[in-house]
Amino acid sequence: MFGLTLRTERLVLRPPVDSELAELAAVARRGVHDPDVRPFGNLWTERPEDQWDSGFVQYFWAQRATWKPDAWDLPFAVYLDGNPVGVQQLRGLSFRIVRDIGTGSWLSRELQGKGIGTEMRAAVLSFAFSYLGAELAHSGAYLTQQGWIGVSRKLGYRENGHRRDRVADAASDAILFRLTRENWFAQNRPVVEVEGLAPCLPLLGLTPDDIPAAPRTA
């Protein structure tokens, strides 16, 4: 998957290799959210100091080790002006059959509020709908994360329910969103260039015949 690259107006997204993980971890350690909120159910930003770097790297290794064509998590490192600024993840479970993808992300707190979170999510949505033949995309965010909720609404997702999770020792309410293929193509979309997809299709459980024709420009 390391040859797969997405390019937008400002960003480059690609799966990080091991030599890039330390720099990416340093970005995350500088802060990706208000310390008074807990946006991640797995509390990964609260690891003990002596486990922080190793835990960060092991997350990416685990995605590779557990990868199956019918169950995959594809984390893209996000680069702005050649520097890592965050991660945008794409997830598929029985994707060839259900055609539904999930997303997750984090972005350097220093760069939030500048449209970068919207642009990086739009990049993987364009990739999923135009290049993989997705029919649905889903997302969710805890109610404390108004920025993530705003990104979903800006990109055309519709509210699709609520969920309550346990986060540490407290309950946290989440809002769920759903975006259809029809709604995605009915709106203005960013131009996204995709490189290196063909060798990755078998890893995603797909063949060229599985991908329907779709507009690939805004």
- Residue 215 has a pLDDT of 54
105 close to 89: Cβ distance less than 8 angstroms: yes
Coil, strand or helix at 191: coil
- Residue 46 has a pLDDT of 66
In tens, the pLDDT along 168-181 reads 777 878 899 999 99
* Average pLDDT score over the chain: 89
Residue with structure tokens 């015949």?
A: 209
- Residue 82 has a pLDDT of 97
Q: Does residue 157 surpass a pLDDT of 80?
A: yes
Q: Give percent above pLDDT 90 in the chain.
A: 65
DSSP state of 67: -
- Residue 217 has a pLDDT of 46
What architecture does CATH give domain 5-206? 3-Layer(aba) Sandwich (3.40)
In angstroms, rounded to a whole number, what is the distance separating the alpha carbons of residues 51 and 172?
25
- Residue 54 has a pLDDT of 85
Q: What is the mean pLDDT of residues 128-156?
A: 92
Q: Is 205 left (phi over 0), alpha (psi -120 to 50) or beta?
A: left
In angstroms, rounded to a whole number, what is the distance separating the alpha carbons of residues 180 and 32?
29
Q: Does residue 147 surpass a pLDDT of 90?
A: no
In tens, the pLDDT along 68-77 reads 999 999 999 9
Banded model confidence at residue 36, pLDDT cuts 50, 70, 90 = confident
176 close to 162: Cβ distance less than 8 angstroms: yes
pTM of the model: 0.91
